[in-house]
Chain A
Amino acid sequence: MDYLETNFADLEQQYLRRDETSEALALLRRSRSPGKGIDLTWLLRHHDEGDVTDPETRKRDSFDHLLAAYGLLEIASIIRFVPGDVPIAFREEALGQLSHPAVKKYYETNYPLLLPSLYRKRLAGEASEDQPGDQTQLHGLFSRFLGLVNRLDADEEVETFLWFVDSGSIGSANLGTTKRLLRNHDRTMKVLLKRAEDRTAAEDSVCGAESFLRFCAELDALLAEAEDFPVFQAAMWNFYAYWFRLIGRDLGDALVGILDTLAGWVSEVSEPHEMPDRSRREDLVSQFWRSVEPDTTSAAVHRRYSDLLRTLDESGGGVDARAIRAYVSPVKGAVERLLSGEYGRALRPG
């Protein structure tokens, strides 16, 4: 196998032939057998047509993973990370799945997503997007993008948070309980210091919100770096179009609300005391390290360290206003850019 064929086979194995897509693939096979009684049109309906049950949600998740895999193959095709010609058997299978009326309606009408459409057209030979440019640079950026995709995909706390953003709940926990918890900074701190296995669903969601905001900042930085490759940039943004476009308003309200809550903690800090407190802490720590010489006994080091912690403790709790301000503003900027849809403009219809 050459470089491009290896890339194709690797993406196919990693994203298309994974456990998460197996149920969708099995359902698609069964739907083509007469008398099997699989109504994919109903399963993949818009939620306004009828409430989606938990077992249905799991099946629909499998289709989402399948469409995501095709989305990644489309991005890889745009930057020529994979061969222009895919194996015939693969093309026929993929085209069959993406052209299935229920599946097509799912990603084109019910929850419109661009990348599966583009890939179907590419496989059918109707049209194909292309991003010219330095292959090493493009492939390097794509590799970073795959890393982001993998890490977000594996983060169960983010999954809980996004489930709540999408109107879901676990027991009595939902987005409202997440927001209420965040209003109290002491409780938030305790949540962040808890072991993952000891957290409740609402507490998982708080940690998921933190991780998702970090992801937003990283994705925004990556998309900004891809500005010389507008089609590629738009394709990567479209991979997350469900969050940033389809339910962008809900997500935006949740994220901006959370950032405002964090910023609100600052109002509890008296401005004139803020800087001296921080500078004093830094001075105390610097003094401590200066007092540690190579020949200082361990007992003396330990005693001085205990004194340092005691002194720091006397300065009380609360929050570091400067740290919060330094965080909120750039992250809010990243969220706003992702939600504006600007990154997707090169692939916007018309």
Chain B
Amino acid sequence: MLHFPERKLRPGVKSDTTRVLWARRPPRAAVVFVHGYRGEAIGTWSRFDALLPMSPKAADYDLFFYGYNCFSSNTMAEASLLCDFLTELHEDGGALLRKSLALADVRPGPLSYGEVLLVAHSIGAIVSRRALLFARQLRRPWEERTRLVLFAPAHRGAVISELLAELEGAWLSFFRAGFRHMSPLVAEVAPGSPSIVGLEADVEREVARGARHLLATKVVIAEVERVVSNLKLHDLDPVPVVVRGSTHTSVCKPRPGFLQPLTEVEDVL
């Protein structure tokens, strides 16, 4: 095992749902997984938590499964909180390590990440890109040491009825009228909404100013997709990679015999 078993990032904080697998040897980088609508820190990425630590390529990475409110909150607030979290990782990661891993001393040296790879699913892609835009505006020194890998990104919005229908193993997927529920987040991610249009314009503008890290390193899309549009974000992002036989939900869930989601991430480590 190249990593310590999964645990809470902040053991004493009940409301914090972020989980972490600390690398056993001093890491050179980190991967932060960011889930989508009503997702769970680990559940959305089911089996990444078990399979990625087996990969020698991941040995030098701390693996964070970021937990946040992707239901009743809004993308702006959550992006700001994610930006704060990334700042904390860069500026005070050692303190996080010591609180979460009682044996922090077995990993010598200061904690300093050369790079943070954000791996985001669906609405998590909106939250992640917006977080990087905030980091740029705030002139965070770490902002250019980030890369994005996006699974089924919702950068053109998401259809709420299909988001609910695709919630795997969740009782909400049983209800045909659940989409009548409205929240700031649901309104924000509606296709054509000002928030969605604004994000695209902001990314385009900042990329033109040289912020190449706002472009995705890789975009992975589902073969059967009804929740989001598979259209590229103008000509900014790379040609997408398709996971055969996948849906919006399964595109980011590797399992034995269906390892492409895993290999797509391994390829960029």
Chain A positions within 8 Å of B, measured between CB atoms, are 1, 3, 6, 9-10, 13-14, 17, 136, 139-140, 142-144, 146-147, 150-151, 154, 156, 185, 188-189, 192-193, 195, 210, 214, 217, 262, 265, 277, 281-282, 285-286, 288-289, 292-294, 298-305, 308-309, 312-313, 315-320, 323-324, 327
Contacts and interface: CB of A to CB of B under 8 A. Distances in A.
B176 A309 contact: no
Contacts of B165: 320, 323
A289 B226 contact: yes
B97 to A, nearest CB: 13
B169 A327 contact: yes
Contacts, number: 154
Contacts of B4: 10
Q: Binding site of B, secondary structure by majority: helix, strand, loop or mixed?
A: loop
Contacts of A292: 156, 191, 229, 231
Interface in B1-60: 1, 3-8, 14, 17, 19, 24, 42-43, 49-50, 53-54
B209 interface: no
Contacts of A317: 175-177
Contacts of A10: 4-5, 101-103
B172 A193 contact: yes
Contacts of B7: 14, 150
A189 B6 contact: no
A294 B231 contact: yes
B1 A140 contact: yes
A147 B42 contact: yes
B76 interface: no
Interface of B: 1, 3-8, 14, 17, 19, 24, 42-43, 49-50, 53-54, 71-72, 101-103, 106, 156-157, 159-162, 165, 169-181, 190-194, 196-197, 226, 229, 231-232, 234
Contacts of A156: 14
21 contacts: A9-B103, A10-B4, A10-B102, A14-B7, A140-B54, A143-B53, A147-B49, A150-B19, A188-B171, A214-B169, A285-B159, A289-B159, A292-B156, A298-B196, A300-B192, A305-B192, A309-B179, A312-B179, A320-B174, A324-B174, A327-B171
Of B103, B106, B192, most A-chain CB atoms within 10 Å = B192
A320 B179 contact: no
A302 B53 contact: no
Contacts of B173: 320, 323, 327
A289 B229 contact: yes
A318 B42 contact: no
Contact of B181 (A193, A217, A299, A300): A193
